[in-house]
Structures are given as C-alpha cells and as structure tokens.
Chains A and B, each alone.
Chain A
Amino acid sequence: MAQTKKQRFYIRTVILVVLTIAIVFTVYSNLTKEKNAVLQVGDKAPDFVLVDMDGNEHRLSDYKGEGIFLNFWGTWCKPCATEMPAMDNQYGVYKDLGVQTLAINIGESDLKVNSFVNRYGLSFPVAIDRNKSVMELYNIDPLPTTFLINPDGRIEKIIKGQMTEQDIANYMDQVKPS
C-alpha cells in the first residue's frame, strides 16, 4: 500500500510532536523538581492537628472561612524571637476580624517553649510539632517561615525570614475574610 505524501507528512509530524513533548516535559519537570516538591502559592494548605501549650487542639481545616497566619519558629532563632511581639500585637487586632494566628515550634521541649511564651507574653496559640511531621509536610526551611492561608484554605503567600510589624499587618489584612 503506497503512502501518500500527505500521510507521510502527518505521521512524521505526529511522531516528532510526541517526542518533543516528552523531552520538553522531562527537562521542564527536572528543572522545577525542587520547586514542585515544596508547597506553592495557590496549593491547598495540607491539614494537620496540633495541641497548643494550653492543651487546646487546633485542626487547620476547622478554621475554614477564616484567614490563617501560620508561623513556624524556634526558640533559638533570633529573627523568630524578634518578630514575635509584633505578631502578638497584630493578633490582638486581627483575631476579631477573622484572622487566626498559629505559631508552630519545631520539636523543642515544653519547658523551653513555655519559658519563651511567658517571657514574651504571647497570647496567640503556640504548639509544638514533636515528630516534625508538620514541618516535613510544609517543607519548612529556614526558620522563621510563615504561611498565609486564605479563607478558602489555599496558600496565599509564603514568607521566608523575618517580618516587620507593618509586613505582618499587611499580610493579615490580605487573608482577612471579606
């Protein structure tokens, strides 16, 4: 059966297109692998349950409809300590506007976290991620890292490093339910 010129053209085009797509896909996904592994803006924030220092359980999905200011920190991390009082101030302003603040300590001891909370007089809930599973889930590196989660439960912004009080106020405002 003789092939017509048109058939040949189409077959060749299809083969070349398929191969090219395969290569572009591979190269692209390899280049963005690092980025894909971690959560990105727009992703659904993975659920977790942690118990805070007062014994209250906090489940992320229970806060649906509210904005969440999710801060990961360590007592030994200086920028974390620096931004804590500012966070506490803004928590006071925004908790009644539907923005919840949660501070997650990465695997330190109760004593250490309690002394820290008392020293800075923090009023927002602070919980310890004891087996580092929430840290793994959110790919936390470095400390501090803050996730802004909007009322739909999606990640609005990821902030790595220290924030000023003005930053914190702006961010909380960004996820305020309308």
Chain B
Amino acid sequence: MDKIVCTCGNVNPAGTELCESCGRPLNQETKEKKLVDMRYEGSARRSQTYNKTIIDKIWNFFSSVKVGMWIIVSILVAAAIGTILPQVFYVPATTEADIAAYYERIYGTFGKLYYELGLSDLYSSWWFQTLIGMLGISLVIASLDRVIPLYKSLKKQQTKRHISFLKRQRIYGIGEIEASNESIDKAEEKLKTMRYKVKRDGNAILAERGRFSRWGPYVNHTGLIIFLLGVMLRAIPGFYVDETMWLREGETLYIPKTDGYFLESKEFTYETYSKEESSEVFGEAIDRVGSIAKNYQTDVALYKGADDAVAGKPDELEFVKDSSIQVNKPLKFDNFSVFQMDFRLDELKAMKFQLQDKETQESFGDFTIDLSDPQPIYELQNGYKVEILDYYADFTGFEEGVPQSKSPLPNNPAFLVKMYSPEFPKGETSFVMIKETLEPLGENKHKIAFQSVETRDVSGLTIRKDLTLPILMLGGLIFMIGVAQGSYWNHRRIWIQRLEDGQVVIAAHTNKNWLSIMKDIDAVSVVANLPKYEDQQDLDSKAEKGEGV
C-alpha cells in the first residue's frame, strides 16, 4: 500500500483520513462530510489495508472494538450462568460420582444438565479462561493500534491548519474583523492566562490544554492488563495457596503447603452474648434464636522445623510465636494467613473408668484413657491392673466376631480389656463400650464402670497466601487513575488563523464538554475581536428538527 502524500507535502501512512500535519481531508469520503471524525485525529488507526496475511487478519480481529465488546458480553453472560446453581467448590461432595448425584438430587433434570454441560465448574473451564485471555489480547491490541497513531498525529500536528480541516470542526466561525493582527496577539495572551499551551506560527495560533486526558483510556487498559496478569500468576505454584485443616486442642500438626511450619492448638473458645451484658442490642434476637455468637477463637502456638529438616521428625520443632486466631484476625507468618473458619465442639478426648466388683460395686481404682494415645497397661493399687488389648475408635459392631471401627475418630470408642486382680491373676476379658459391656469369654466378677469423659474442641482453619494481591491492587490503582484522567480532564484545542484574504477563522475541538470550550472562547472574545462561531453539530440537529426528520 502506498503512503498518502498531502498537498502540504507531509507523507501520511496509508489509511489516514486527515493529514497529520495540516489537517486536509485525504479521501473523497472525508471530503464529502461536513464535519470530520476527530476521534483518533483521522489517523490510520486500523490498517484494514494491510489485510493480506493471516497475522494481519488476526490482528484486525482483535483490534476491533466491536469484537472486544462481544467478548465482554460473552464473559458477562457466561459469568451470570455460573451463578445460577452453586459451583462445584461449594458442593458438599468430593468424588465425581457424588457431585453428579448431588446436582441431580437437589436440582433435578436441570441440575443434571448443568453438571453435564460443565457449568458447575464454569470459572475454571478452559473456554471461560480462554475468553478472559481473548479479552486480554483485545485490550492489548486495540490499545496499541490506537494509542500509537494518536500519539504520532498529536505530536506532528502543525499550528497552521488547512481551512478544509478548520471548516469541518464542530465549532467554527469565519469573518472580517477590525485590527485582526492585534486581536490575534490579544487572544494569544488571554489564552495563556487561561492555562492553554499556545503555539504561534505567523498568523496562526493553536491553543491546547489537557492533552494527557486523551491517554486516559489507555492508562485504564494498562491497569486492566496488569490486573489480568496478576490473576494469571495465581496459576504459578508458590503464588497462591488456599488450604484447610482441622486441628484438635492439644494436637500439633503440619500446616499444609507451608514448608515446615507446624501449628499447635492450645484452646478453642466459643463465646456467646449473655442477656445481661447486651440485652439492649441483642436482647430480642437472643429471645428469638437462643444464642448469638460473640467470639470464635483458637489459641495456637506456631512452630517451625529446622531448615534442613525432613518431614516426619516431630522432635526438632522450634517455637516461633503464640497467637490467638479470631474471625478476621488471622495468624500471620511468611506471607501466610491462618484464618478461623469452622469448629466442632466437644469431641471425645479422654474417658475415665473405674474397676469395680460387679456385685458390691467396690472400687479398685480409677484410670483415664487418653483416646488419642491409649496405654497398654493401667496399674491400679493392690495388685489390680487393667490391660487394653485393643481399641476401636469408631466402633460399628462385629463382623464375623471381629470388632469393627469405621474411622480413626473417637466417635464411639470401644475397648477390649483384660482385668487383673489377686483373685484372677490370668485376667478376665471384657469388651467395654460406652453404654454396654460384653463378656465374650464368660461371666466376670469384675467390671469396668464408666465414670466421665473429657472432651476437646476442634478448630477448622483456612490457610491462605496470595502474593498476587499487590499486583491486583496496582492494576486497580492504575485502572482508576486512567478513569480519572479521561473523565475529569478534557483535551481542548482552539485554532485562530488569519487567512491570506484577511478573514479570520476560529475553530475548536474538545473530546468532551463542549459548553466549557465555548465559554473559554467567549472569555477570549471579551478581550479580543473574534468572528462569531457556531456549533455546527447543533445547527445540524436544529435543521433536522426543522425538517421534521
């Protein structure tokens, strides 16, 4: 494609509508228009002319604002569809089959369809992420394709513009005036005091202010791109962690994904408001729902394994700090935050028993079994002792005579024990459950009587790390700067020129807020003689109304 050489001698890139230098219209279509389209200064922003290779075709596709808009609409529609039913993440099921069954059971045929179409995990689907990626490409290319030519033509613009450019501006006036040279001098002075940057070229003035507002949209797009970049980084290991753990009082466990940190729960506290302390605020609510939570708190100690430590060795932990984790007051270390998220109260911790004579209920001593670490032998006084042969934390019954436990959690503890006494040095065997005792090897003289339980609470904690947050915030900040830049400032230009034939022309352009630029011109008119101007677009609309169109 050839360059376009303007009458003024400037060489413009192919596709240019208005000469970058003098502003003359460069093609027939533009010449026929009464007003010029000033959006990108008539520059060759989208070289549709370079449409030969596949790369150009792809480039032009993404450069199109129309395409960009459709990408945004598709994302909005898809994101909205994703909110119709809960996403997989919030569904109380883990295996594929359970999840499928859940959707069908709760939401019927629609739920089944929703799951099968993959809408239940929409936001992490490849096509949704691809759409977001396409939005990113569109932002980059559409911005590059516009900001570079716009920058060039604003930089190249001459003070003296051709009359064919000036008369196609929305604000335009021409006329004979007295003392025109003096008027132009006065106008120059006045415009300078109004914080316009004024350039003078013989009989021509170009007064310009707020050009940087033209960069607003591109600054804004840069912010968006940085934001998307931050979201992209979440996919890289080490940038983003979101894990959960259950921690019992007294337990010390490895904190998932933290590279050698351990957490011990000292105490979990659940407090509610009492009626006395807050009847004014919560009185009615307490009457209605029974109790209102005041505090969920886990007191913890944080430990770190040695730097060269290997997993599994519990004895080399170094104390880091004590902390109380409350809702919205996480434990923080090394970019990690541990949040209080959930709890279970009163899980069985220990059980206290008494060895008794079955008939006389005479006691031969108490002993307490720690359910997380039962001992093989509990020695009592006077030669009495109890041996724990086996322990079933979550006892469910017998299968072919063998006691079964369905989990390692002490939901329903049962013990196979042997009771030794001076009378029975070989021991009596008993199977002890919470409310019942079996004597599998015949009638016993002694029994294990249940006395009391100790319980402990379990804290549900969430471990978070997000190194992308500063990037997201930076992106958001730049985004807002761009919005402010484009919204609160506007790019105004006023051209005043004395033509060869002695007539004076005034023309003006702004990217928004036309009333203000007219006020500016009026202020200049007070000190300088200027021809009357008209808002040509307004005239057009008046004419249209008059014709009844």
Contact = CB atoms under 8 A, between A and B. Distances in A.
Interface of A: 2, 5, 8-9, 12-13, 15-16, 19-20, 22-23, 25-27, 29-31, 33, 36-37, 46-50, 59-61, 74-76, 106-112, 114-115, 127, 129-134, 136-137
B237 A36 contact: yes
Contacts of B313: 49
Interface stretch (B50-58, B191-199, B490-498, B538-546): B50-58
A109 B374 CA distance: 7
Interface residues of B, number: 50
20 contacts: A9-B56, A16-B55, A16-B141, A23-B134, A26-B129, A26-B232, A27-B126, A29-B236, A30-B129, A30-B235, A31-B126, A36-B237, A48-B311, A61-B310, A76-B393, A76-B406, A111-B390, A112-B391, A136-B256, A136-B311
B124 A134 contact: no
Nearest to A112: B391
B469 interface: no
Given A23-B137, A75-B408, A76-B393, A47 B310 contact: yes
B408 A134 contact: no
A133 B374 contact: no
Nearest to A33: B235
Contacts of B311: 46-49, 133-134, 136-137
B121 to A, nearest CB: 10
B372 interface: yes
B401 interface: no
Interface string B241-282: 000000000001110110000100000000000000000000
Given A108-B408, A112-B391, A132-B253, A8 B50 contact: yes
Contacts of A132: 253-254
Contacts of A60: 310
Of B13, B252, B256, B388, which is in contact with the most chain A CB atoms at under 10 Å from its CB?
Answer: B256
Nearest to A76: B405
Nearest to B234: A30
Given A13-B55, A31-B126, A49-B312, A131 B232 contact: no
Secondary structure class of chain A's binding surface, majority of residues: helix
A109 B372 CA distance: 6
Contacts of A33: 235
Of A16, A20, A76, A129, which is in contact with the most chain B CB atoms at under 10 Å from its CB?
Answer: A76
B376 A9 contact: no
Contact of B130 (A27, A131, A137): A27
Given A9-B55, A46-B311, A76-B394, A15 B141 contact: yes
Contacts of A12: 55-56, 59
Of B56, B144, B375, B390, which is in contact with the most chain A CB atoms at under 10 Å from its CB?
Answer: B390
A30 B124 contact: yes
B376 A22 contact: no
B527 interface: no
A48 B310 contact: yes
B220 to A, nearest CB: 19
Contacts of A19: 133, 136-137, 140
A112 B407 CA distance: 12
Contact of A23 (B55, B133, B372, B393): B133
A9 B53 contact: yes
Given A29-B236, A132-B254, A136-B256, 7 more contacts: A9-B55, A16-B137, A19-B137, A29-B235, A115-B389, A130-B314, A137-B311
A31 B121 CA distance: 11
Nearest to B145: A12
A26 B133 contact: yes
A50 B311 CA distance: 8
Nearest to B416: A115
B312 A50 contact: yes
B312 A48 contact: yes
A76 B407 contact: yes
Nearest to A14: B55
A15 B140 contact: yes
A155 to B, nearest CB: 15
B19 to A, nearest CB: 16
Contact of B373 (A27, A31, A109): A109
Nearest to B390: A115
B312 A27 contact: no
B3 interface: yes
Contacts of A16: 55, 58-59, 137, 141
B375 A22 contact: no
The 9 closest A-B pairs by CB, nearest first: A23-B133, A133-B254, A48-B312, A29-B235, A48-B311, A133-B311, A50-B312, A115-B390, A76-B405
Contacts of B136: 19, 22-23
A23 B141 CA distance: 15
B357 to A, nearest CB: 26
A13 B257 CA distance: 40
A48 B311 CA distance: 5
B126 A112 contact: no
B231 to A, nearest CB: 8
A107 B133 contact: no
A20 B377 CA distance: 67
A158 to B, nearest CB: 17
Contact of B253 (A110, A114, A115, A131): A131
B310 A49 contact: yes
B351 to A, nearest CB: 14
Contacts of B405: 75-76
Contact of A136 (B53, B232, B254, B389): B254
A114 B311 CA distance: 23
Contacts of A36: 237
Contacts of A108: 408
Contacts of A47: 310-311
A27 B129 contact: yes
Nearest to A116: B390
Nearest to A37: B237
B55 A107 contact: no
A111 B374 contact: yes
A130 B253 CA distance: 8
A110 B373 contact: yes
